[in-house]
Copies of this chain bind each other. A is one copy, B any other.
Amino acid sequence: MNDLMIPLKEDGRIPMYRQIYDYIKNEIQKGKMKAGEKLPSSRLLAKNLCISRSTVDMAYDQLLSEGYIESLPCKGYYVCRMEGLYFSIEKKVFTEKTSEQKVSAPVYRWDFALNGIAPGGFPHNIWRKLSREVLSQEGDRLFQLGDPCGEFGIRRAVAEYLHSARGVDCDPDQIIIGAGNDYLLMLLWVILGKNRKIAMENPTYLSAYYDLIHMGCQILPVGQDSQGIRIEELEKTGADTVYVMPSHQFPMGMVMPLARRMELLKWAGSREGRYIIEDDYDSEFRYKGQPIPALSGFDQKGCVIYLGTFSKSLAPSVRVSYMVLPPALIKDYLALGHLFSVTVSRTDQKILEMFLGEGHYERHLNRMRAVYKNKHDLMVRCLKEMSHICAFSGENAGVHLVLKFCNGLTEKEAVRRAKEAGIKVYGVSEYRIQKSEKEENMVLLGYATMEDKDIEEAMKKLKEIWEI
Contacts and interface: CB of A to CB of B under 8 A. Distances in A.
Q: Counting chain B CB atoms within 10 Å of each CB, which of A61, A66, A135 scores highest?
A: A66
Interface in A55-77: 58, 61-62, 65-68
A144 B131 contact: no
B67 A261 contact: yes
B152 A124 contact: no
A229 interface: no
B317 A159 contact: no
The 10 A-B residue pairs with the shortest CB-CB distance, nearest first, are A67-B258, A67-B257, A143-B315, A145-B316, A210-B338, A179-B343, A62-B289, A317-B346, A182-B340, A83-B262
A115 interface: yes
Interface stretch (A44-52, A165-173, A236-244): A165-173
A166 to B, nearest CB: 11
Contacts of A144: 116-117, 315-317
Given A122-B140, A179-B183, A343-B183, A255 B65 contact: yes
A407 interface: no
Contacts of A211: 338, 340
A137 to B, nearest CB: 11
Nearest to A291: B66
26 contacts: A21-B289, A62-B288, A65-B292, A67-B258, A67-B292, A82-B259, A83-B259, A84-B300, A85-B298, A87-B293, A87-B297, A91-B163, A92-B169, A94-B156, A96-B156, A142-B317, A145-B317, A179-B179, A179-B344, A207-B341, A318-B345, A319-B344, A319-B345, A343-B343, A345-B345, A345-B348
A91 B165 CA distance: 11
A117 B272 CA distance: 46
A35 to B, nearest CB: 9
A257 B85 CA distance: 12
A179 B180 CA distance: 10
A290 interface: yes
Contacts of A194: 216
A235 interface: no
Interface string A225-263: 000000000000000000000000000000111111111
Contacts of A66: 257-258, 292-293
Contacts of A342: 180, 319
Contacts of A348: 345, 347-348
A462 interface: no
A162 to B, nearest CB: 10
Contact of A180 (B62, B258, B343): B343
Most buried by B among A82, A167, A300: A82
A214 B333 CA distance: 10
A186 interface: yes
Contact of A62 (B119, B146, B290, B347): B290
A131 B140 contact: no
A17 B120 CA distance: 33
Contacts of A65: 255, 288-289, 292, 396
A211 to B, nearest CB: 7
Interface residues of A, number: 106
A223 B306 CA distance: 44
A80 interface: yes
A465 interface: no
B164 A91 contact: yes
Contacts of A273: none
- A62, A142, A214 — which one has the most chain B CB atoms within 10 A of its CB? A214
A284 interface: no
Nearest to A297: B87
A159 B91 CA distance: 11
Contacts of A256: 67
Interface in A117-167: 117, 119-120, 122, 124, 127-128, 131-132, 135-136, 139-140, 142-146, 152, 156, 159-160, 163-164, 167
A298 B86 contact: yes
A132 B134 CA distance: 12
A160 B92 contact: yes
Contacts of A258: 66-68, 80, 82, 85
Nearest to A179: B343
